[in-house]
Homo-oligomer: A and B are copies of this chain.
Amino acid sequence: MSHNTFGHLFRVTTWGESHGPSLGCVVDGCPPGIRLTLSEIQSWMDKRKPGQSRFVTQRREDDVVKILSGVMLDEDGETMITTGTPISMLIENTDQRSKDYGDIARRYRPGHADFTYDLKYGIRDYRGGGRSSARETAARVAAGAVARKVLPDLVVRAALVQIGKHKINRANWDWDQVNENPFFAPDPQIVPVWEDYLDTIRKSGSSIGAVIEVVAENVPAGLGAPVYGKLDQDIASLLMSINAVKGVEIGEGFASAELSGEENADEMRMGNDGVPLFLSNHAGGILGGISTGQPIVARFAIKPTSSILTERQSIDADGNNVEVRTKGRHDPCVGIRAVPIGEAMVACAIVDHYLRDRGQTGRLR
Contact = CB atoms under 8 A, between A and B. Distances in A.
Given A15-B87, A246-B254, A262-B310, 5 more contacts: A1-B228, A4-B229, A110-B266, A111-B266, A248-B248
A169 interface: no
A233 interface: yes
21 contacts: A1-B225, A2-B355, A3-B227, A3-B356, A8-B8, A9-B360, A17-B83, A17-B85, A22-B68, A22-B69, A83-B131, A111-B287, A115-B276, A120-B221, A210-B257, A234-B237, A246-B252, A249-B254, A257-B303, A262-B308, A265-B308
Contacts of A342: none
Contacts of A7: 2
A34 to B, nearest CB: 10
A252 B228 CA distance: 26
A198 to B, nearest CB: 12
A237 B233 CA distance: 5
Given A1-B229, A241-B233, A119 B290 contact: yes
Interface stretch (A39-47, A50-58, A185-193, A313-321): A313-321
A260 B332 CA distance: 10
Q: Identify the interface centre among A165, A222, A251, A263: most chain B CB within 10 Å of its CB.
A: A222
Contacts of A257: 162-164, 209-211, 301-303, 335
Interface in A1-34: 1-11, 13-17, 20-24, 26, 28-29, 31-33
A3 B229 CA distance: 5
B256 A246 contact: yes
A-B CB proximity, top 6 nearest: A113-B288, A359-B359, A3-B229, A2-B29, A116-B290, A207-B261
Given A70-B15, A258-B165, A356 B359 contact: yes
A201 interface: yes
B1 A226 contact: yes
Interface residues of A, number: 158
A264 interface: yes
Contacts of A265: 109-111, 306, 308, 312
Contacts of A2: 7-11, 28-29, 229, 355-356, 360
A159 to B, nearest CB: 14
B28 A252 contact: no
A121 B225 CA distance: 10
Contacts of A228: 1, 3-6, 14, 241
A241 B227 contact: yes
A317 to B, nearest CB: 11
A266 B314 CA distance: 9
Contact of A360 (B29, B263, B363): B29
Given A266-B110, A301-B254, A84 B288 contact: no
B111 A68 contact: no
A274 interface: yes
B120 A357 contact: yes
A151 to B, nearest CB: 12
